[in-house]
Structure 1
Amino acid sequence: MLMAGLNLRRMFRDRTNLFFVIVAPFLLILVLGQLYGGGQQLRLGVVSGPGAAAERLAGMLGSGGRVVVERLPDEAALRTAVERGRLHAGVVIPGSGPVRHLVRANDHRSHETGAWVRSIVRQEAARGQSGLEVRVTTSGTTPFPEGLSAYAISAPSLLLMFTFLTSLTAALGLVETRARGVTARLSAGPTPLRTIVAGEAAGRIAIALFQSLLIMVGSMALFGVSWGDPVGSLAVVTAFSLVGGGAAMLLGASFRTPGPPISLALVLGLGLSAMGGATIPLESFSGTMRTLAYLTPHAWGYDAFARLIRHDASLMGVLPQLGVLLAAAAVLFALGVWRLRRALSG
């Protein structure tokens, strides 16, 4: 525990870490939350049939400041505009029969219009306009449930990215202690080698846990993000922190000078995050890219959080993802401990 606290204090001696560890994650959650739809206007295409009821409903759909309505000539043009992303969603209002709401299954903002459309239809039905009902049409299953906060999409992804990136960049501390001969002096003294190795491992885990818990608690307080089942979410955070700590242990034990590990930390931290769906939602990946994404721990963490936050899964529902993350952590720590013991005894 002493060495874990020492590693945390060492990380914050560099004032720039205060920004990148504490401030930057929340700025990006805010920016990406806005990008995913928080506060942005929704573009809704409308094809209106004949009749006063249909025309009134079309006008009411554009009555709020959140939704901008664009009229289209027919359903084919509407479907094309929605599929290509020019419109977030579409509504077909026939002269008689149900109202059809067209959405894209992989677009969070597309599904935000559903609540608005249904609320307007209910209002019009209450006014005595008979025969109005909504039929929602999607292609496949929706990964973004209705009402999901845009920040609940960005926060888990950025937790994964920053936890891994901060862990890798903090591996520089292990390189510096070895370069200055601190660990060599400790190992030459009465302190057992296993105690030194365990302390360094605890320090790597402490940094990863600090970063991930900071983002989790901060996003709840600042953006109202719900992380789902608390036991499941804490288990995922712990497992992914172990992965980050193990990767940092291996990286820090493999080099004697700070240049290479810093470069590798940035390349691996950002590259694996992008590949694993921590910068662009995994649902937007093609089939091949999505398969490759699961070669990274980020994709397994992303999948676990998606189940917990979007689909109300419990700890039992994310056991496969936890198993993969813990296995990856075990391999990384085994290699890191082996490499550090070899470096200290050599």
Structure 2
Amino acid sequence: MKTSDVRLTQFSPAAGCGCKLSPDVLRQILTPVEVDAQAGSDPSLLVGNNSRDDAAAVDIGGGRALLSTTDFFTPIVDDPFEFGQIAATNALSDIYAMGGTPTVAIAILGWPVNTLAPSIASLVLAGARATCEEAGIALAGGHSIDISEPIFGLAVSGLVEIKHLKQNNTARPGDTLFLTKSLGVGITSTAIKRDKVRLPDAKAATQSMCALNNIGTALATFDGVTAMTDVTGFGLAGHLVELITSSSLDADVTWSSLPLLPNLSEYIAAGCVPGGTGRNYESIKSHLPNLSPEKIAVLCDPQTSGGLLISVRPEAVIAVSNTLREANLPHEPIGTLSKSRHSTAELRLGD
């Protein structure tokens, strides 16, 4: 079989961050061991898993913290080089979302050696190495296993000045929300897998997934940026609910302000909705208003290598918007935060 004949997405029922465990299942797994990952359990541990943040942060002295994260998944595109690029971009995003600068990465590879040629895995690694080079770091090694489905990702380390460390649980009432990439990656990827996608739309999704979120390092230095996280497998709604729940806030999001990949309505109508969408919705529906199936499909769409969700004080909105515009990223606010009206944080959706 020639490399050009291989369709990697056919080797896994799920794809990209859509294969993540649902928030409910993850909560069941992590709750019993939560105490070992709280910041108070180790004086040097600044961020553990109790806040479900993007990376762990450890105080290494001198006003700096070491960031550590890992991310891997099954193929979301057919091209092996692009799969490597996307997986690397997605893993690096966790460092940028914390306001850090990546320093080194190692690879995580699971490969069905009796089904897919080693040369295809080499292309995956080549794609990841190209992205690491773009980020200014080395892909310095890794670990591999023989497994029934292909998986790939990175473990990444980074550094951040503690005064610029950003978390997902530090947003404040009155903040404005920004999102730096278009939504709909999961929907478009499902359309690719089912041979229902328009070629320009497939290219738009791939380009988005391959774009580094390195703008996060610059935005973290803004005094008015209060919180930051990247939007991945739980969808915009899931990650926003995490952000507001942890800070006892409500969110008002404007539907017409959301950046979207092209022709999502067409693909949703054709049934190109990932399985992870329903799991995401079930995990957070108590925080949501009554929504149409299309809006659920978009808001709960599992994103792979999605954009940064940024919470910003009113006095910094113009500066953040201008910085995003100069980087050719979506720069219009998508919503605002306010103090919770009830015991359960609410995500409200306006037109």
Instruction: Mark yes or no: TM-score above 0.5.
Output: no
Larger radius of gyration: 1
Higher strand proportion (structure 1 or 2): 2
Higher helix proportion (structure 1 or 2): 1
TM-score (structure 2 length as normaliser): 0.27
